[in-house]
Copies of this chain bind each other. A is one copy, B any other.
Amino acid sequence: MATGKALDRFYSVIPAGGVGSRLWPLSRAGAPKFLHQISGTGESLLRDTWQRLAPLSGEERIMVVTGRAHEAAVCEQLPELEAHNLVLEDEQRESSAAIGLAAAILVRREPDVIIGSFHADHVVRGVAAFGQAVRQAVAVADAGYIVTIGIPPREPATGYGYIRATESLDFDGVATVLRADSFTEKPDVDTAVQYLHSGDYLWNAGMFVARADVLLEQLRRSEPELVAGLEELAAAWDTDARTDAVARIWPALTKVAIDYSVAEPAAEEGKLAVVPGHFAWYDVGDFSTIAKLGSNGRRSQLVTMGDAESVHAEDSSGLVMNQTGRVIAVIGLRDVVVVDTDDALLVTTTENAQRVKGVVDALKNSGRSDVL
């Protein structure tokens, strides 16, 4: 095994999509979740992701796949991003197209490239452990597996998907590798408790590492037309023909999540390996999670973000995001969520954080897409 060598062939891919409508009015169609500072590092989630990956693949080997509408913001947040590593989508075609296109472009440039795909809008705490898991995943991927980094559950979460993995694989230099049996959707709370206690399940963090050629072959078996389209696009990508090819091919590509097109079929065929990631990981789906992250779980605390100096709180807990710089006074509210932006204000509680999406739907229906 040549871990060093494999890591030299490693390329990071960051699919940066998804509005995050449960984080309205912070997240908007024009300013999605990954562009915002909500992890507590003082950097955006996208920049956090970049900084985790740069020590592993090098800055010159990180590709970002995002919507054309976000080009300026992404380039501003990632000034080190090289032009040939920015893939702009005219419209979102889901993760199989985004990651598949990155794989198809990169495999033409470097036939033996190993790619790792990491969402732009997740939070990781424990960068060293993250790096160790990625290195191990790269080593396992080099042997032909499609590898996912799974997170040992800390609690019976109902908001995440799970991976069942009971069989160990033997790899030199890799402490633990499991073979994935199956993927499951977000469970109900009883099932989640059972998963937690069984020890057989890990959270699906959507982190996939594989040789690009292996990934594309797996994808081809479930979505042959999609891969044909992606390869045609990739052939034109570094040429003058790109624009025409995108206009012709991209809109017709099948929309399917990579979990369904690659991960689940690979698990069924015994070709999906899981490296447990011993770091804290969060898919920041709602303001309740941001409050929990910001307070490190101390529920009595009020977390302030943005212009925190202008927030005057008494006898309150929860989260106040001050994006406007206005004076915000909060008195006597437990677990409150206040998100203050230029044209919209949200006031709710951490308990009701999931209901924010309903407001977004209601605003859409009432013709207020101007604030979405």
Binding site for B on A (CB under 8 A): 24-25, 312, 314-315, 326-333, 336, 338, 340, 342-349, 351-352, 355-356, 358-359, 362-363, 366, 368, 371
Contacts and interface: CB of A to CB of B under 8 A. Distances in A.
Contacts of A349: 331-333
A139 B232 CA distance: 97
15 contacts: A314-B355, A326-B342, A326-B345, A327-B371, A328-B345, A329-B345, A329-B347, A329-B348, A331-B346, A331-B348, A331-B349, A331-B352, A331-B355, A332-B355, A347-B347
A342 B340 CA distance: 12
A363 B331 CA distance: 13
Contacts of A359: 312, 314, 329, 331
Given A312-B359, A359-B314, A344 B331 contact: no
Nearest to A345: B328
Nearest to A331: B348
Contacts of A338: 345, 347
Given A314-B355, A362-B312, A363-B312, A343 B330 contact: no
Contacts of A346: 328-329, 331
A333 B345 contact: no
Given A312-B363, A333-B333, 5 more contacts: A329-B348, A330-B348, A331-B359, A333-B336, A333-B348
- With a 10 A CB-CB cut-off, give which of A331, A340, A351 has the most chain B CB atoms: A331
Contacts of A336: 333, 347
3 smallest A-B Cβ distances: which pairs?
A: A332-B352, A331-B348, A327-B344
A24 B328 CA distance: 11
A312 B331 CA distance: 22
B345 A327 contact: yes
Contacts of A314: 355, 358-359
A286 to B, nearest CB: 12
A74 to B, nearest CB: 27
A356 B314 CA distance: 10
A103 to B, nearest CB: 40
B343 A326 contact: yes
Nearest to A358: B314
Contacts of A358: 314, 331
A340 B329 CA distance: 11
Contacts of A363: 312, 327, 329
A366 B340 CA distance: 22
A335 to B, nearest CB: 10
Contacts of A345: 326-329, 338, 340, 345
A366 B328 CA distance: 14
Contacts of A371: 327
Given A362-B312, A363-B312, A331 B343 contact: no
Contacts of A368: 327
